[in-house]
Chains A and B, each alone.
Chain A
Amino acid sequence: MPNVRKLVACFALLALSVTTALAVEGGNPKKGKFLYKKNCKSCHVEGGEGKNLSPLNKTQSQWNRLFDKGTHPKKGEVWKGLSEQDLKDINQYLYNHAADSDQPETCG
């Protein structure tokens, strides 16, 4: 039965990892980081078209409120190319690393 044990262990780990921070059901934070950099950071950088952004700019509830509206606050059309899942992923990444998130500061 080693394979079953392995599977149970995997599910247990998965359960732990998703319960630590859940903004929206089904959001993949790793994918969200990739999509955020690819889509958001093209404008949201210093000297860019949008204001420079980082997950730390807002609290978890502020990020959730922003995504709950379903459209980009300033330029509605820019989110049109993103699927509902993409937006969930980005929301999850920003939520997990928000100013009041559980993600600890680091050293060096």
Chain B
Amino acid sequence: MSRLLDNKLSRRRFLGLSSCALATVVVGSQVKVLRALAKSGEVGDLTRLPDKSVFTSCEMCVNKCGVIARVRNGVIYKLDPNPDYIKSRDMLCARGNAGIKAMYDPDRLKYPLIREGKRGEGKWRRASWEEALDLVAKNLTELGEKYTRAGTMFLSTEGFQEHFFLMLAECYGSPNTVRHPTLCLASNIQGFGATFGTNPTPDVLNADYIIMSGANRAEAFITPDTIDLLKGDGGRRKLVYLDPRFTKTSAKADEWYPIKAGTDMAFILALIHVIVTESLYDRGFIETMTVGFDQLAVHIEPYTPEWAAAECDIPAADIRRIAREFAAAAPKAVYYQGRRSSFFSNDTQMRRAMAILNAIAGNWDVPGGMIPNGKIKLAEHVYIAPWYDDIPDRLDQGSVTYLSAKDGAWLHFRDRVLAAEPYPVKGMMIYKQNPLQAAPNRAKTLQMMEQMEFICTIDITMSDTAWYSDVVLPEATYLERMDPVESLPGILPVLSLRYQCAEPLFESKPNLWIMQQIAKRLDEEVFESFDYTIEEFVDHQLSNNPAAKQMLEEKGVYYESPTPVYRSSYGKPLRTKSGKIEIYSEKYAENGLDPLPVYTAPEAPPAGRYRLLVGRHAYFTHGTTQNNPWLHDLMPENTLWLNTQEAKKLGLKHGRMVQVKSPVGVQTLKLEVTEKIRPDCVYMAHGFGVLSRGLTNIYGKGACDAALIEDKACPISGNAAMHETFVEISPA
């Protein structure tokens, strides 16, 4: 194996001239005021005041809301929202508050562990960091020699320290990073990206008319959208919501339609039909900013509201009225695309339909419309990974039309590992990802893991995936470490910085330290890219922006404008081939894809079976927070929602245990008989039915949806399709 590396970036060059470390920043003023009030008798008991308050940002979900940690005697006793953190609007949700329990959780990983028994048997030996890290490095080296360095896959998900994990993959030499987007919103990004050149953010606060399908914003939180959905209301806002379930968002909506699952595209195409045929679109905008409207006008002819009504179970008169109302409210009207994972394998084209509807309403980059995300620049971290001559392309190369080189296509990748085609993958390094809960068809994921020669997981709890690993390394929680500055893009772009709030408990370590230790053991050249402290890294990121550094220290956040900036994209070419909004996609046509979205009806549930729906819950983030003691108290197990009439037909009573069977698995859980779901569907919350006995609150509770969902995917983006599985229900 030959290597070329003769022009390294030196540590000194990376860090630049100014490398004075950032001191831990404490929020002092509020404490002083409280002390003064205590002296005057206006507040009592001084002993209850924090002796330190530290800015951080939440890691209980993906939103990164602003937090102030209140600390007394080195112990965090309360988390408060940061009022200056404009993205989260001075809000911290139930999960955010329960962040304390992520740190002070008896179930958290405390020490490095090495497997003693069979995989999944749960026999572990406490190891020193030295021994565990040596074992990881030894295996990575041996796997590289046997299978090339592409023979180890690196699985991770978003987080402020993920950067270092991805760097390790690159410096080690594996092209096979497999991230979360194809279990998340890859099809969304693809559909909107093909139309606008980017995936924009709806201006929820200022929109007068919002249509949401499937995006359950009142429970599946996105900040600031969830807050703005209510805040921006004031009586003028209309929210139309489509979902086969009656969710909390249904309760907050002006109109709720229990749409037949998988028919959203028919509804959207019919809205476009009305707007085009009645000339309700923004003609001037279409002429100057878009390409392909003429082809759309022809394409849309057969998609009448009457046709859509039969597909969606939504009355034609309502579709027509909603289209007219939407057009009348435009440009302050948005068809909200949400961030949900894909439900059907035509998801990219369904997203294209959403994007096209937004485009003809002329709502691009104006108040209440679709806004391209702003992003604040940080100094770039330039590092040079060593070059290895013998590394093949990604394992999943060519598996989908548009493959992300950074993210891969999860289900396609797993199939190729199992087929060992075009080459074998025998090692797994995992950071924060939990595929045994996240990826459809759990049995297949287990099969993939069984054929691995080595698996190492870095996490804060004994996830199912950690439970099936060979080495488990305990990461410090977000409250116990300083993280790199993160530039969060969006309608209100901010810089976010986590200061360390408390010392790491037990022997947990920040991921940077873990990566440095592995890199050091692999190779001196690999370590070269990791040779700095976190404070030095942060200093470098902010080296071109002293104002940001100051505001982060004083307010725990940095922003350039407290309100959205509109029309910044006007007068510049968009990131599409034509430089304009592409209603008709020439690029798709060239790749043999439908250049305009073509509707195909979803398969109907066979007799005696129900479509299994997935969905979000306000207490839980994917499969990660169900075991948190406070959140567990709110919902100790999941249930199977079944419509009242159907339960009657099957002779099943509320509260009894039922068996749910799909073509790929069987699960057992409690039945919830309810009017809140269509008769042709059933639903269960995600994240239960765990395999890990290290999650003591939820082990043995509820059922796992990943064990039931079949592995189907969008061929354009690779995104997993979560709603194409039919299940049978029987008494357990």
Which residues of chain A have a CB within 8 Å of any CB of chain B?
Answer: 6, 9-10, 12-17, 20, 30-31, 34, 37-39, 41-42, 45-47, 52, 54, 59, 96, 99-100, 102-108
Known contacts A38-B7, A103-B405; A108/B157 CB under 8 A: yes
B382 touches A39 (CB 8 A): no
B387 touches A107 (CB 8 A): no
- The residue that B575 contacts in the complex, of A17, A38, A96, A100, with Cβ under 8 A, is A100
* 0 or 1 for each of B189-201: is its CB under 8 Å from A? (1 = yes): 1100100011100
Residues on B with beta carbons closer than 8 Å to the beta carbon of A46 = 379-380, 544
Shortest A89–chain B CB gap in Å is: 11
Q: Does B497 contact A (CB under 8 A)?
A: no
- The residue that B402 contacts in the complex, of A9, A12, A14, A104, with Cβ under 8 A, is A104
Residues on A with beta carbons closer than 8 Å to the beta carbon of B391 = 30
A100 touches B157 (CB 8 A): no
A106 to B407, CA, bound (A): 7
Residues on B with beta carbons closer than 8 Å to the beta carbon of A31 = 387
A101 to B575, CA, bound (A): 8
A10, A100, A103 pick with most chain B CB within 10 angstroms: A100
A104 touches B577 (CB 8 A): no
Q: Does B385 contact A (CB under 8 A)?
A: yes
Q: Does B505 contact A (CB under 8 A)?
A: no
Q: Does B614 contact A (CB under 8 A)?
A: no
B159, B180, B384, B577 pick with most chain A CB within 10 angstroms: B384
Residues on A with beta carbons closer than 8 Å to the beta carbon of B193 = 104-105
Main secondary structure on B side of the interface with A: loop
List 15 interface pairs A-B (beta carbons < 8 Å), by A numbering. A14-B393, A15-B398, A16-B398, A17-B393, A34-B385, A37-B383, A42-B7, A52-B380, A105-B199, A106-B189, A107-B158, A107-B185, A107-B189, A108-B62, A108-B159
B404 touches A103 (CB 8 A): yes
Known contacts A31-B387, A100-B575, A108-B180; A47/B190 CB under 8 A: no
A59 to B422, CA, bound (A): 32
Q: Does B184 contact A (CB under 8 A)?
A: yes
A47 to B15, CA, bound (A): 13
Residues on B with beta carbons closer than 8 Å to the beta carbon of A103 = 402, 404-405
In the complex formed, the residue of B with least CB distance to A107 is B181
A10 to B422, CA, bound (A): 6
Residues on A with beta carbons closer than 8 Å to the beta carbon of B340 = none
Q: Does B421 contact A (CB under 8 A)?
A: yes
Known contacts A105-B193, A106-B181, A107-B189; A13/B398 CB under 8 A: yes
Q: Does B587 contact A (CB under 8 A)?
A: yes
**Chain B 58-81 residues near chain A, CB threshold 8 A:** 62
Known contacts A30-B175, A107-B158, A108-B162; A13/B407 CB under 8 A: no
Shortest B716–chain A CB gap in Å is: 10
- The residue that B587 contacts in the complex, of A39, A102, A104, with Cβ under 8 A, is A102
Shortest A94–chain B CB gap in Å is: 13
Q: Does B621 contact A (CB under 8 A)?
A: no
Q: Does B482 contact A (CB under 8 A)?
A: no
Residues on B with beta carbons closer than 8 Å to the beta carbon of A104 = 186, 189-190, 193, 402, 404, 717
Residues on B with beta carbons closer than 8 Å to the beta carbon of A59 = 573
B404 touches A17 (CB 8 A): no
B398 touches A17 (CB 8 A): yes
Q: Does B576 contact A (CB under 8 A)?
A: yes
B397 touches A100 (CB 8 A): no
* 0 or 1 for each of B364-394: is its CB under 8 Å from A? (1 = yes): 0000000000000001101111010001010
Q: Does B179 contact A (CB under 8 A)?
A: yes
Q: Does B648 contact A (CB under 8 A)?
A: no
Shortest A95–chain B CB gap in Å is: 13
Q: Does B656 contact A (CB under 8 A)?
A: no
Residues on A with beta carbons closer than 8 Å to the beta carbon of B198 = 105
A52, A96, A106 pick with most chain B CB within 10 angstroms: A106
Shortest A104–chain B CB gap in Å is: 5
Shortest A17–chain B CB gap in Å is: 4
The 7 A-B pairs of least Cβ separation, nearest first, read A108-B158, A16-B398, A17-B397, A34-B387, A107-B181, A10-B422, A41-B382
